[in-house]
């Protein structure tokens, strides 16, 4: 099937204010457009120090844009920068096409992809907050249709003299309160889950990083090597924002050390502020992690910018004191040796088993450092303790004595304390 026929044609537009990063920003915008199942037929750029407050582009360029829209029969324009409500109105009036800005586009992608109830609510909240100052532009109508905010209720108590604008604003505000409440409920359930995990005292590790860096591919590789047999793989796609929901899997290293690995939403430059805020709770997995593995596309010439964006976004959601290692992924695309360890960081490829094993070794060093080797004398009637140790620790030696079993094992702090009364001698 020829997919291009079903894709919406669009013209992308951008202002070159920061020449260094501009070309990449436009390439990324075009990738985002594709990720939203649309097809870029033309790109128009203008060099301006700052956007025209009324129309973004200057007057002549708007005329050129209008002509392109007519010639190419395009109904949608996508702008690289966030636009003010009046800029949206003015460009739409001039060109007779609808315009989406970068923020609106990312919100649409997230809205089309969100799967879990929580992700859906988070996206809706971000969209409502985006709509609020943009009431009565096509941006809000379009979003209305998707979120259904203007269908049904909300218009019942229209007071005399109250403008449509105020009514719509109130409707949006009500919906925001409602969604916030639902999110809180959904968040509570997650917190309970997370607490239960905390209790089980298994360390947690989160894969974070720029979109398309290979987080989900690494997750799948780790599940293959260390997951339980029935563990499901996560989705991998060569597309921006393939992953929108956090997935968590319990992995067991060969020496019984267990940890939870989570795959998280990727970041992108100029990620809408509303969305970052909304995804705070999804990213709580990262905030509560014992270790972050920042996955970087090592083969991408823009990798430094991607690292910077990732670290700034993490900071914005309040994740700034979790230890982090860097996985420089996709090394197979470059002429370099891998896996190569550089301190706690690793140059690797996600589809290479020795890379994944090396990554697991680094994770193990970082999150299981509070382990001590102890010899415990377990009385014969404490079979439950023996089976716990068998299932949860790395047993180095087992001896049988008249008064019980002597087990020498690596124990974490909590287990060392819990079974302290059986300790024979520290080794
Ligand atoms: N050559 C090569 N390709 C890779 C490697 N790791 C991932 N990829 C490819 O990169 C693309 C993106 O991989 P994903 O694992 O979906 O990336 P992600 O970081 O989860 O992306 P988002 O979910 O969008 O944030 C896919 O086409 C993968 O097959 C690697 O080590 N080498
Ligand atoms: Mg992913």
Q: Which domains does the chain have, with CATH numbers?
A: 3-108 (3.40.50.11060), 114-188 (no CATH), 202-367 (3.40.50.300), 372-426 (3.30.70)
- Nearest ligand, CA of residue 236? 1
Residue 142: predicted pLDDT: 52
Residue 201 has what pLDDT? Answer: 67
Closest approach atom of ligand 1 to CA 348: 31
Of all protein residues, the one whose alpha carbon is nearest to atom 21 of ligand 1 is 212
Return the residue whose CA atom lies nearest to atom 2 of ligand 1: 330
Cα 219 to middle of ligand 2, angstroms: 9
Q: Binding site for Mg(2+): what residues are annotated?
A: 216, 243
Q: Check residue 156 and give its pLDDT.
A: 40
Per the CB < 8 A criterion, the answer to whether 297 and 213 are in contact is yes
**238 alpha carbon, closest ligand:** 1
Q: What residues line ligand 1, using a CB cutoff of 6 Å? A: 211-217, 236-238, 240-243, 266, 295, 329-330, 332-333, 349-351
Residue 9 CA, ligand 1 centroid: distance in Å: 27
- pLDDT tens digit string along 82-92? 899 899 999 99
Ligand 1 atom with minimal separation from the 349 CA: 31
**For ligand 1, atom 7: residue with the closest CA:** 214
Among protein residues, the one with the nearest Cα to ligand 1's atom 1 is: 330
Task: Report the separation in Å between the CA atom of 245 and the middle of ligand 2, taken as the mean of its atom positions.
Answer: 9
Pocket test for ligand 1, best of 206, 236, 279, 299 (most atoms within 8 A of CB): 236
**Ligand 1 atom with least separation from CA of 235:** 16
Task: Let me know: does 10 contact 41? Beta carbons within 8 Å.
Answer: yes
Ligand lying closest to the C-alpha of residue 209: 1
- The ligand placed nearest to the CA atom of residue 215 is 1
Ligand 1 mutation target, pool 216, 261, 347, most atoms within 8 A of CB: 216
Q: How many whole angstroms from 404 Cα to the centroid of ligand 1? A: 52
pLDDT value for 113: 82
Residues of the chain whose pLDDT is less than 70?
1-5, 136-162, 190-201, 281-282, 425-427
C-alpha 236/C-alpha 195 separation (Å) is 29
As a whole number of angstroms, the distance between CA 4 and CA 6 comes to 5
pLDDT value at residue 39: 94
**What per-residue confidence (pLDDT) applies to 151?**
36
Report CA(411)–ligand 2 centroid distance (Å): 34
Residue whose CB lies within 8 A of the most ligand 1 atoms, among 212, 266, 298, 329, for a mutation test: 212
Q: What is the pLDDT of residue 334?
A: 98
* Nearest atom of ligand 1 to the alpha carbon of 236: 16
């Amino acid at each position: 099937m020829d997919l291009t026929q079903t894709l919406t044609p669009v013209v992308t537009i951008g202002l070159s204010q920061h020449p260094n990063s501009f070309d990449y920003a436009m390439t990324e915008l075009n990738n985002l457009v594709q990720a939203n199942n649309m097809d870029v037929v033309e790109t128009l750029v203008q060099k301006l120090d700052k956007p025209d407050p009324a129309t973004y582009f200057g007057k002549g360029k708007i005329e050129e844009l209008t002509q392109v829209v007519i010639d190419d029969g395009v109904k949608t324009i996508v702008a690289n920068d966030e636009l003010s409500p009046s800029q949206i109105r003015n460009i739409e009036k001039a060109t007779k096409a609808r315009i989406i800005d970068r923020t609106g586009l990312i919100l649409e992608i997230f809205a089309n992809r969100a799967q879990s109830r929580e992700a859906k609510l988070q996206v809706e909240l971000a969209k409502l907050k985006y709509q609020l100052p943009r009431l009565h532009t096509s941006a809000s109508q379009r979003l209305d249709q998707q979120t259904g905010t203007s269908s049904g209720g909300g218009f019942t108590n229209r007071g005399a003299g109250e403008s449509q604008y105020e009514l719509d604003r109130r409707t949006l505000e009500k919906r925001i309160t409602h969604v916030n409440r639902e999110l809180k409920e959904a968040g509570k359930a997650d917190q309970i889950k997370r607490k239960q995990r905390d209790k089980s005292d298994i360390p947690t590790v989160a894969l974070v990083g720029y979109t398309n860096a290979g987080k989900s591919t690494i997750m799948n590789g780790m599940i293959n090597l260390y997951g339980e047999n029935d563990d499901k793989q996560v989705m991998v796609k060569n597309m921006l924002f393939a992953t929108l929901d956090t997935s968590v899997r319990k992995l067991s290293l060969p020496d019984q050390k267990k940890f939870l690995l989570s795959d998280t939403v990727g970041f992108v430059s100029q990620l809408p502020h509303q969305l970052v805020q909304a995804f705070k709770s999804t990213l709580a997995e990262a905030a509560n992690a014992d270790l972050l593995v920042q996955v970087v596309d090592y083969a991408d010439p823009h990798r430094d910018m991607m690292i910077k964006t990732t670290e700034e976004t993490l900071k914005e959601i309040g994740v700034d004191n979790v230890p982090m290692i860097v996985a420089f992924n996709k090394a197979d695309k470059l002429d370099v040796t891998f896996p190569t360890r550089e301190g706690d960081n690793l140059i690797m490829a996600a589809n290479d088993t020795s890379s994944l094993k090396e990554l697991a070794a680094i994770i193990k060093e970082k999150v299981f450092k509070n382990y001590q080797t102890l010899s415990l004398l377990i009385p014969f009637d404490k079979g439950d303790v023996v089976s716990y140790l068998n299932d949860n620790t790395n047993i180095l030696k087992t001896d049988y004595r008249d008064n019980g079993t002597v087990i020498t094992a690596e124990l974490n702090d909590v287990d060392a304390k819990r079974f302290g009364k059986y300790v024979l001698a520290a080794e």
